[in-house]
Amino acid sequence: MEMLPTEVALQILGYLLKVYLKSVRLVSRRLNSLSIELLFDKAFLSPHLRDLEVLTSISNHPIISLAIKEVVYVGVFFWHGPFLRAEPRSDRKYYYARLVEDRNTLKTSEDFTITCKALAKMTNVRKVTLANYWGHDYKNLNLPGSSRLGGPLSRQWRKDVVEPVGRPFVNRRLDGIFYDHGFSVLCRAISVSGLPIHTFLMDFADGDRETRGLSASTFLIEPSEFGEYRNAFRYLRKLSLCLNHMYKPRERDIFMDGHVAKLLATATELEELELGRMPSVPLNKFLGTHTWPHLRSFKLWECFLPGTDVMDFLYRHRTTLKTLQLEEVFLVDGSSWSSMVKEMRQWMVLESVSFQGSRQRDDGPIIHKWRTPPSDKLEKYILSGDIDLLDGE
């Protein structure tokens, strides 16, 4: 191993479990250096000061800081009620002290400052992920509902007294877990640090997407700050975003005015785009009429859209798209999936496709009744061209 080229040695070490890699580090300085690249390729941060202190330590390490390729922001806050029920009283005081600490951290924007400094030192970071949960802390505790989701990374928090929610310490309970604060912090920190981020993802706990996503107000960006968000999106090649579908009617104008479209158009090198729970606005308003010249994968889920909007977008990207997933997409204009896939087949050559759960309006006497076409037949037809699969559709 000592004589092998670095690329070959890393490939071999990559097959080892982490428990064995930790032992390999003790063999020699070179293997220790190589193992660090595999053991410490990801750093976690959260809005909690204790976690930010750990991030600072990682970024100040001369070797580990350069091994970090991905940063995961666990954007979960805590409801201030549980400390009243905590026993003994010492736990109650400790929990309350942490809540006050978090509130002061946000008030002074200390989390943003620390994140900026850390990213500037971790120069090889190319991927950022927004998460709304910290799985290993809660998945085996039999807590009800969303209490399984979230949690500071610090082991000092008592798991039996915490109950996570998605927003900072406030005077009333808010349901749902949102990503807004983490999205804002990461975008601005990426801009300040100057990192060319290639992948920006939103992760979900066990695929649970319900009431979790970006609020519409997140995209109401001041003109003076818009440049920072553009810098964060400029080098993206892969983007995954989900919106919180519980937006207010007046917030619809934010999407209609093209705030999201202007931001996405900045990512001129985009290759993969995933959007979930889009608002009920025309697709050309939400995404604009921009064409990404390298887009090869497009995923859309839980949306109500006119079929004509979908077809217009796909036609603009017909020469580059290879992967298409339109899952739980409801066609609201009377279009049918069978007619749409017949047209797609004429000018698209796809390698992978999915229409799982997508529906169309039923022509029957019941208004707003939905019909689910056989997605498996639609998928096989668009890949094989066997017209018999669509007989009767």
Q: Closest Cα partner for 71 from 101, 93, 51?
A: 51
Contact indicator for 68, 42 with CB cutoff of 8 Å: yes
Helix (H, G, I), strand (E, B) or coil at 328: strand
The amino acid occupying position 219 is F
pLDDT at 25: 75
> Low-confidence residues of the chain, pLDDT below 70?
1-2, 76-92, 94-95, 132-178, 204-212, 245-247, 363-368, 387-393
pLDDT at 150: 37
The amino acid occupying position 292 is W
pLDDT at 3: 74
**Alpha-carbon distances, residue 322 vs 115, 237, 241, 340, 379 (angstroms):** 36, 15, 20, 17, 13
Strands (DSSP E) along the chain, which ranges? 42-45, 70-74, 77-78, 127-131, 164-165, 199-202, 238-242, 272-276, 297-305, 323-331, 352-354, 359-361, 370-371
Distance CA 383, CA 11 (A): 35
Burial of 190 (0-12, 13-18, 19+ CB in 10 A): buried
pLDDT at 309: 94
pLDDT at 71: 94
Name the residue with tokens 């202007």.
262
- pTM to 2 decimal places: 0.82
Q: Closest Cα partner for 338 from 376, 282, 284?
A: 376
Domains along the sequence of the chain with CATH = 1-39 (1.20.1280), 296-393 (no CATH)
**Alpha-carbon distances, residue 249 vs 217, 281, 306, 331 (angstroms):** 12, 11, 19, 21
pLDDT at 10: 75
Distance CA 106, CA 125 (A): 24
